[in-house]
Structure 1
Amino acid sequence: MSNLVTIAAIQMVSSQNCQQNIQKAEQLIHESVEKGAQFILLPEYFCLIHSDPKAKFNIAEPFGNGPIQDMLSRLAKKYNIWLAGGSMPLDVGETDKVTNTLLLYAPDGSLHTRYDKVHLFSIDTPTMRFNEGDTMVRGNQVVTADLPFGRVGFAICYDIRFPAFFVAMGELDLILMPAAFTYPTGQAHWELLLRARAIDNQCFVLAAAQGGKHQSGRQTWGHSMIVDPWANIIECLPEGEGVVITTVDFDKVKEVRSSLPVVRDRHLLTQL
């Protein structure tokens, strides 16, 4: 794969029916491929947005086996693409907890990389109370992957708020950011955070979001987008189902870093 790669972020408004969501994801993946996508990212919990936080237990799969994982593997191979499955629940052997996991499949259909969400979202306001820790087990490691076009850093939603998390990944060419931001937090912070992480790490950011009013009653912010290493927004879809797609030149990362060597010059305090 050359340094010119067509990348796509899929935006969904996932329902309470897992099978319908899988079918919709497959349709949008097909549309992305028709437009030339070589690397595709689905949003966080593309398979289910439900009013009952425990509903995810009913669709949680053992690692390496299940209809959601089978679909991702099958389509990666069918279309000869890199396919990042947003996130999905995986069984951890407990009756009341699952992981929030991003799985990346290679063009031959094999599983390439697994990332379990490290930072579990919680919010407590007069109008909203939610805690992922009630039903999820957090991951415990930073995950990157060296792909043919560059180094990719893995993150999910709430992770975007922790700059040191990305610094710990080292030099990156692309950050993956599947998300399901709430409407108020998204309106306030989503674009700012994505562009800030692009600036911090001088790399591309591929952000695939949930975006609309869900069957569950929840409303997500959307605004799936592709951001370049200078923090320019290349493409953005404000709301509704669809795809943001563009061909990026990963040599742009080197150009930005050579003109303003932020990544070269940064130091963690523990290293001083």
Structure 2
Amino acid sequence: MSSFRAAAIQMRSGVDPQRNAADLAGYVAEAVSKGAIYVQTPEMTGALQRDRKALADVLRAEEDDIIVRTASELAAEHGIHLHIGSTAIAREDGKIANRAFLFGPDGKIITRYDKIHMFDVDLDNGESWRESAVYAPGSDSVVAALPFARLGLAICYDVRFPQLFRAQAVAGASVLTAPAAFTRQTGEAHWHILQRARAIENGAFVISAAQGGVHEDGRETFGHSIIVAPWGEILAEAGHADPAVIVADIDPSLSAAARSKVPNLKNARPFGLVIQSDDGQSERQSAAS
């Protein structure tokens, strides 16, 4: 597959989807001016809103969502593949999806992905999050077969589950993604390590657009949108938390080269798990997925 230029847009989404949609249009135009034909935005592009009632007030079904509509128009206007890292969508069953969208150059939706792993954590500074109290998790991983590469979709906390990315790589994805709204605390500790690890262990590019800075709802996100090569080199990074557009040239053949040097995807073997106690007793289990 041919090389292409990718862009990751770093945003500081507020609570108003209309204002965020207007900002999105400007960032996409900047990415296109830099030669990008694949453009990715962060998790929760449409709004970052901790207050559940306020979120419910701006929540819309997919066909009525302003970010979905704006992204479709922008993809068609610029003739690009536009990947909305995610936005909150009202599902038909009354629940909420943290949903990614990938639009083609004709403005049509190629595929969707609902975040599988919910960010339910309690951090050292008293910061606590319960995504499962608001969002319904997805159940299917998604790989999009695009003209220039197979692209694996994921969202933020998914990056901590390497088996998800391994399955996408085995399915032929040479580009993996993890658009995010990482907290500042977890980002400072783990962001770069996780991004580079997913690239190295899968011999794949990783593109992760991020939210950054202090948001209207009071949260603080890490920023540092990043594009990593299959050998682990950082090709581009926003080295801060301010809004930005970063770009890098992606050559899928470098993924094949990395996988031929270290063919761990092919060399993987099934295994069981034995728990051995000091009294000589043992218990055999299936390996964790």
User: What interval of TM-score do these two structures reach, taking the shorter chain for normalisation?
Assistant: over 0.9
- Aligned to 2:201, what secondary structure does the other structure show? helix
Over the matched positions of the two proteins, sequence identity in percent amounts to: 37
Cα separation, 1, equivalents of 2:5 and 2:53: 37
Aligned residue runs from structure 1 range 84-123, under 5 A: 84-95=83-94, 97-123=95-121
Name the amino acid aligned to 1:115.
Y
Q: CA deviation at 1:43?
A: 0.3
Any idea what the Cα deviations from partners look like across 1:129-161, whole Å, max 9, x if unmatched? 110011100001111111111211110000000
One-letter code aligned to 2:45: F
* Superposed displacement of residue 268, structure 1: 4.5
1:128 counterpart residue number: 127
Residue type at the aligned position of 1:21: N
Match of 2:162 in 1: 163
Work out whether residues 173 and 250 of structure 1, in 8 Å CA contact, stay in contact via their aligned partners in 2.
yes
- CA–CA separation in structure 1 for the residues paired with 2:269 and 2:63: 38
State the superposition RMSD in angstroms: 1.7
1:244 aligns with 2:246: yes
Give the equivalent residue in structure 2 for 1:258.
260
Aligned to 2:225: 224
Larger Rg: 2
Size of the aligned set, in residue pairs, is 270
In structure 2, the partner of 1:151 is 150
Whether the 8 Å CA contact 2:17–2:67 is kept in 1: the answer is no
Distance 1:268 1:64 in 2: 43
Distance across 2 between alignment mates of 1:252 and 1:55: 45
1:118 touches 1:138 (CA, 8 Å); kept in 2?
Answer: yes
Q: Which moved more, 1:141-150 or 1:61-70?
A: 61-70
Q: Is the 8 A contact 2:203 2:259 kept in 1?
A: yes
Alpha-carbon spacing, 1:202–1:181, altered in 2? closer, same or farther (3 Å): same
Spell out the pairing of 1:183-194 with structure 2 (5 A cutoff). 183-194=184-195
Deviations along 1:171-219, one digit per CA (max 9) or x if unpaired, are 3210111100001001111110000000111100000000111122211
Secondary structure of residue in 2 paired with 1:77:
helix
Asked if the contact 1:57–1:98 (Cα under 8 Å) also holds between the matched residues in 2, the reply is no
**CA distance in structure 1 between the partners assigned to 2:61 and 2:193 by the alignment:** 36
Question: Which runs of structure 1 show a deviation greater than 4 angstroms over 4 or more consecutive aligned residues?
Answer: none
**Secondary structure of the equivalent of 1:168?**
helix
Instruction: Please report how far the alpha carbon of residue 123 of structure 1 lies from its aligned counterpart in structure 2 after TM superposition.
Output: 1.4
Once the 2 structures are TM-superposed, how far is the Cα of residue 115 of structure 1 from its aligned partner? 0.3
Query: How far does the alpha carbon of each residue in 1:66-92 deviate from its partner, in whole angstroms, 9 at most, with x for none?
Result: 322111111101000000011011112
Contact conserved, 2:81 with 2:105, CA < 8 A, in 1? yes
**Residue 30 of structure 1 aligns to which amino acid in structure 2?**
A
What letter is aligned with 2:183?
T
Pick which of 259-268 and 14-23 moved more. Answer: 259-268
Q: Distance in 2 between matches of 1:16 and 1:10?
A: 18
Relative to the length of structure 1, the TM-score reads: 0.94
**Runs of 5+ consecutive residues of structure 1 not aligned to the other structure:** none
Match of 2:101, SS?
Answer: strand
Q: Deviation per CA, 1:8-59, whole angstroms, max 9, x where unpaired?
A: 0000111122111111111100100011110000000011112414433233
Q: Does 2:57 match 1:55?
A: no
Q: What is the CA-CA distance between 1:65 and the residue it aligns to?
A: 3.8
Corresponding residue SS for 2:62: coil
Unmatched segments (≥5 aa) in structure 2? 273-285
